[in-house]
Amino acid sequence: MEASMRMLPALLLPEIIVFIGALAVLLGGSFLPRRRQWIARIVAALALLGAAAAAISAMFAPAQTAFSGTFAVDTATGTARIVTAVATLLVLGVASGEIAASPRESDTYALLLFAATGVMVLAGASDLLVLIAGFLLASIPLYGIVGLAGGRSGAEAAMKTYLMGALSGILLMLGVTVLYALAGGTGYALLRETLPDAPGAAVGAGVLGVLAGLLFKAGGVPFHFWVPDASQGTGGTAATFLTTVPKVGALVAVYRLVDTVSTGEDTLLFVAAILATASMFLGNLAAYWQNDPRRLLGWSTVAQVGFLLVPVAAAGRSGLALPSLLFYLAAYAVTNVAAFAVTAALPRHRELAAYRGLVRARPGLALALLVALLGLVGTPPLAVFVGKLTTATAAWDGGYGWLALAVMLNSLLSLFYYLRWFAPVFARPHQGALGFPQAGGAAAWPAATAGVAAVSSLALGLLAGPLWAALEGPLAM
């Protein structure tokens, strides 16, 4: 029996570890008193560390598939697993200060782990039915995460997220239905063989339906409307997670799908290029007018999805496409967590002007914010700079010179609204301005997380060369 036809459940060890960890946290947390909910946090952290270790170990094995070819274990899956586990672990650091000893602490940790499992499944799915399962597992806990914090505004954000997720989920399943009718199956290998002979309009409709669901998870145009509202209305833990982790699985899944069905033709790749450009410009232009830092970061997230879609437009045309996407995902994850962790450490400062004088009162926090914002712009030697440079190069190699130009232009545009944030940080505070809390207390965890994430962004940029070699590998089909 060929390896692709075996079940091989051991290949899904990272997903199994995280899922079992989620169950343990959910059940065990019900019996823990509120003052000992930190035990659930430790269990969640151990599950994520175990999953990351298992994923790193699997990266040294050759690419293969499990469960009769429905789940791919390759470089893309391994990278997504590691980034998802590490980013969720950083989110736990934010949560340690924000929701410690709250009534829903262990529930939140369980939902984070369930959603992280869904993200990992999305990244490795090489069958449309598994893609649906991953989408649902990543989406349903997300609604709860958004709604558990934030009071009335959190409930409103959860409702908007749910409605947009329900619509995009319906479109995804309609797209799967169309592709199944055309190909006679749902496996990616079968799609690659049969769809080139199917009617182009029908294939395009099916693929666009699937992309609709994945773009909701990523937070890209045209299913982006929920991201700024959810980022502003919910708590720091939920905002950090929803703008970071779901993108990892969704964008790897988008790349797999486009690489499978594009067959070297221009139409689908051009659609990806248009979506990338629209997300970049809309996110950057909308972010310019925001005064709430979390809402600004929400629109920044939409723009970053555009940058991350750029290598998708070069799928099959440039050898840089997949490695640049994977590196950018890792770079964006730690950099975005650093920015949101700063806002979680200063929960009362909900206007950009309120950060005036931060460098005098909390120099370490100000430095972490500076690194995060310069990182999101794409400033060397920070990691996102390498991601933007390589994605633009992949677009150029793929024949989309105008898309590479759009990357450079949008990087310049983003500088202006980030300047609106970190310029007050270095200004002299006004008399009577809102003061900054002293280091320590509940805000110590988010502040420490911001520092760790900022240092990680710098380290990824400095170690880009050795890491790049580990990201070069084919997709398993």
Q: Which two tokens stand for residue 145?
A: 């995460």
Single-letter residue type at 353: A
Mean pLDDT of 274-291: 96
First to last CA, the chain: 17
Residue 2 has a pLDDT of: 45
Q: Cβ distance 396 to 319 under 8 Å?
A: no
pLDDT greater at residue 30 or residue 79: 79
Domain membership of residue 425 (yes or no) is yes
pLDDT in tens, 293-324: 999 999 999 999 999 999 999 998 999 999 99
Mean pLDDT computed over 44-69: 95
Residue 192 falls inside a structural domain: yes
Within a domain: residue 282? yes
Categorize the per-residue pLDDT at 326 as very low, low, confident or very high, splitting at 50, 70 and 90.
very high
Mean pLDDT, the chain, integer: 93
- Specify if 103 maps to a domain: yes
Tens of pLDDT, residues 413-468: 999 999 999 899 988 887 666 778 877 777 899 999 999 999 999 999 999 999 99
Domain that holds residue 76: 3-471
Which of 90-94, 154-158, 350-354, 435-439 comes out lowest in average pLDDT? 435-439
Report pLDDT digits (tens) over 185-242. Answer: 999 999 999 999 999 899 999 999 999 999 999 999 999 999 999 999 999 999 999 9
Contact call for residues 284 and 413 (beta carbons, < 8 A) = yes
Where b means 16+ CB within 10 Å and e means fewer, 213-231 reads bbbbbbbbbebbbbbbbbb
pLDDT at 1 over 50: no
- Tell me how far apart the 2 most distant CA atoms of the chain are, in Å: 76
The residue among 470 and 48 whose pLDDT is bigger is: 48
Residue 477 covered by a domain: no
Residue at 249 is within a domain: yes
**Does residue 476 fall inside a structural domain?**
no
Residue scoring higher pLDDT (118 or 152): 118
pTM here is 0.96
Does some domain include residue 305? yes
pLDDT at 264 over 70: no
Q: What per-residue confidence (pLDDT) applies to 278? A: 97
How many domains is the chain built from? 1
